[in-house]
Structure 1
Amino acid sequence: MIAAMLLSFGVIFVAELGDKSQLMAMTYALRYRWWVVLLAITAATTAVHAVSVFFGHFLGMSIPSDTMSILAGLAMLVFGLWTIRGDHLDDAEAAKAERVGASVFLAVMSSFFLAELGDKTMLATITLSTNNDWLGVWIGSTIGMVAADALAIAVGALLGKHLPERTIARAAAALFFGFGAWLLWTGLAGAGAVTVIATLTAAVVLLGIGTAYIIRLRRADDVRQPRDESVRT
């Protein structure tokens, strides 16, 4: 249980760095009491990760452990690419974070709950719970996310600006790739040649497609940015 807790804490803390949930936490905390925001985040995270662990635990019971390690390793590679791509608040999320009414706790909790559904931290929690102690994953992942959002709140309060997102995203992505390589090595140990070739091919294809997609997004952003600046001037 302790090993699962520590692993989940580390993975989810890394996954949350630069995530839109951190940006939302920072935005809320700059306007409302930080402890109310943090309590709301804790409640939402506990609920979302309970659902994630439930699905992951019962999914993992029906899949061989070696296969699950391979799938988890490939998932970690995807999370690494996702992290490099970066995250941001869209217009609707930013507007919602700025116009919360009287019931701050409920508003923040609901917005975080909805924001985490289908997010990489939820998917990472599902992945971890498939072949680790479910209670350890639940506790560790919840604490990891709350700690990362608390860091965003503290930095936002002290500096009044976002974390250096690109640098943190690259470091977080490197850790994800490391986790992925370790899980793939574990799952492929003793596997047949066909499984090894198929897995390595899938990893190369995922990394290739993901890299091409990220490059395309970066080029689109570079083209869009001068246009936005020209409109403002």
Structure 2
Amino acid sequence: MDLDLATIAIVFAAIFVVELPDKTFIATLVLATRFRPLFVWIGVSLAFLVQTLVAVVIGGLLANLPKRPVEVFAALMFLAGGVILLRGAKKADEEEKETEEEFAHKGAATAVGLKAIAVSFSVLFLAEWGDLSQLLTANMVLRFHQPLSVFLGAFLALATVSALGAVIGRALLARVHLTTIRRVGGVVCLLLAALTTLEILGVVSAPHA
């Protein structure tokens, strides 16, 4: 199965802007104030590895369904993602505080080494099932028909977001508001919805495996 660098780049960019304003970023930031950032990043990334694999497998299964309903479903999913992000943009900063409080007391603060990794893994693994980035990852498989490329793009984006949260999360939030990032993510989803719709109508050519 060949890798497509363009697909990896597109998926990376889309998942990155969708996940950056998500509670995952804040949760990683909070965990990194309690444990060593490296251990937090390893644990969170392992959780993302499993979740991304599951999302890609689900997308691959859905891709075997009749083409037209799948294309319509993909367009609707991108549209829903865009609307959700844009409608929630105004509340992003308020949700940031709520998320910090939610994750502030999870796991023993004295955890080190493998225990800190395990705590970080379990916290994110349980918190992130069925979130927007996971749904969009499955949707990207439907759109590009490149499961390996989608997997790499999505996982690298999620690992990058968690690294930013663990290392420079607080400094980044001081300079860039989550409201702005969430709006950018919403626009990206709406553009993908529009492009998918144009492909359904035959105005532009759809990507193939």
Superposition map of 1:1-233 within 5 A: 1-2=3-4, 3-64=6-67, 66-84=68-86, 85-86=88-89, 88=95, 89-90=98-99, 93-97=102-106, 99-102=108-111, 103-131=115-143, 132-158=145-171, 163-189=176-202
Contact 1:30 1:157 (C-alpha < 8 Å) held by counterparts: no
Match of 1:205 in 2: none
Contact 2:107 2:119 (C-alpha < 8 Å) held by counterparts: no
Question: Segments of 4+ in structure 1 off by > 3 A?
Answer: 86-93, 95-101, 157-163
Normalization by structure 1: what TM-score?
A: 0.72
Contact 1:27 1:97 (C-alpha < 8 Å) held by counterparts: no
Contact 2:74 2:196 (C-alpha < 8 Å) held by counterparts: yes
- Structure 1, residues 25-44: CA drift from partner, whole Å, max 9, x if none? 11112232111111112111
CA distance 1:68–1:6, change in 2 (3 Å): farther
Normalization by structure 2: what TM-score?
A: 0.80
Q: Percent identity?
A: 24
Q: Equivalents in 1 of 2:116, 2:49: separation in Å?
A: 18
Contact 1:156 1:162 (C-alpha < 8 Å) held by counterparts: no
Q: Equivalents in 1 of 2:170, 2:58: separation in Å?
A: 36
Q: Aligned Cα RMSD in Å?
A: 2.4
Structure 1 unaligned blocks of 5 or more? 191-233
Tell me: higher relative CO, structure 1 or 2? Use CA pairs within 8 A at least 6 residues apart: 2
Q: Secondary structure at the match of 1:83?
A: helix
CA distance 1:120–1:188, change in 2 (3 Å): same
- Structure 1, residues 178-230: CA drift from partner, whole Å, max 9, x if none? 1111111112227xxxxxxxxxxxxxxxxxxxxxxxxxxxxxxxxxxxxxxxx
CA distance 1:91–1:23, change in 2 (3 Å): closer
Q: Equivalents in 1 of 2:30, 2:99: separation in Å?
A: 13
Give how far 1:51 is off: 0.8
Match of 2:206 in 1: none
Q: Equivalents in 2 of 1:27, 1:97: separation in Å?
A: 10
Structure 2 unaligned blocks of 5 or more? 204-209
- Structure 1, residues 86-135: CA drift from partner, whole Å, max 9, x if none? 56355873244475552211011111111220100111111112242111
Q: Amino acid of the residue matched to residue 40 of structure 1?
A: G
Q: Amino acid of the residue matched to residue 81 of structure 2?
A: F
> Which moved further from structure 2: 51-60 or 156-165?
156-165
> Which moved further from structure 2: 66-75 or 134-143?
66-75
Give how far 1:82 is off: 1.8
Q: Amino acid of the residue matched to residue 35 of structure 1?
A: L
